Amino acid sequence: MEHLALDRNELLFFSLWSRQKVSKRLTLLYNPNLSDDFLFNHARLTAPQETLGYKDLRYVKKFYSRLGIKPTLILNSKPDSGQKHLLSGEGFEAIEQLITMSTPTYISSPLKPNLKITVCGEDDLADWVKVFVEAFSTPSWLEELKRIAEEMVKHPSCTLYLARYKGTAVGVAARYSVEGVSGLYCLGTTPKLRNRGVGSALVAHVINEAHRSGDRIICLQTLANEHLTKFYARLGFRRHYSKTIYSSEATV
């Protein structure tokens, strides 16, 4: 049941960034304005225990190709030989692993001097967006990110955080809370302040906030190629499960 709760938290947060099309078998997230990011543009099985069929894969390729987006799937379970053959036959190749980590919430140590972390209000959104764009090198997202941030700051389940060092905005994070679970998202720091403890302080602060809100567990997602699992492990997170990301260059 915990696996499902963490997966649901992830899907609900991603859905703040994307539109969603849901059928009996597939859930498709899409945002052509963020077409270069597969987390906000991918299909997954609506019921994770189901298996993909030929028609599902053809539909995914047709749906995303019409939008000018590379067809992508995120699958919970490892496919058997038949599924692998089907995926390969339709041009889908495994390109990455999305790792979900989690930890019980708790109260951690105080912040480092000169660093202040606050909850974002509407007056802080320009700084939050600016730091996000710098941290994730996404200048093409600027206008769409402004729109999304304005929606997130108003959403009852979502909280945005901004870290300032000596008064200058240097780090961002987001927390999505639902059904006793918090998800940590959008963790980033400006390049000049990396490896200075800002990211660790943001993680600790969000864990504290999740604990104070009454959530019993906090989760996060990280890509295997980012090699951040050891960083999060030092902060108390443990690997919970992983999903495989498949992408296809083929169109219908």
pLDDT at 251: 59
Q: Is 77 in the same domain as 155?
A: no
Q: Is 97 in the same domain as 130?
A: no
Average of per-residue pLDDT across 69-76: 94
Average of per-residue pLDDT across 132-148: 97
228 inside domain: no
pLDDT at 249: 83
Helices (H), 68-213: 81-89, 125-136, 142-154, 198-213
Would the pLDDT of 138 be above 70? yes
72 inside domain: yes
pLDDT at 92: 95
Q: Is 185 in the same domain as 162?
A: yes
pTM higher than 0.85? yes
Burial 102-116 (b: 16+ CB within 10 A, else e): bbebeebeebeeebe
Q: Is 197 in the same domain as 149?
A: yes
162 inside domain: yes
pLDDT at 232: 96
Count structural domains, the chain: 2
224 inside domain: no
39 inside domain: yes
Contact assessment for residue 246 and residue 43, using Cβ atoms and an 8 Å cutoff? no
Would the pLDDT of 49 be above 80? no
233 inside domain: no
Q: Is 189 in the same domain as 120?
A: yes
Average of per-residue pLDDT across 86-110: 91
Per-range mean pLDDT, top range of 3-7, 18-22, 51-55: 18-22
Average of per-residue pLDDT across 167-192: 97
Domain that holds residue 52: 2-101+243-248
Q: Is 69 in the same domain as 124?
A: no
Tell me the torsion sign for CA atoms 136, 138, 139, 144.
Answer: negative
Q: Is 42 in the same domain as 8?
A: yes
pLDDT at 79: 79
Q: Is 32 in the same domain as 129?
A: no
Q: Is 76 in the same domain as 112?
A: no
**Residue 88: closest CA among 243, 248, 251:** 248
Q: Is 110 in the same domain as 62?
A: no
pLDDT at 48: 74
The CATH number assigned to the domain holding 191 equals: 3.40.630.30
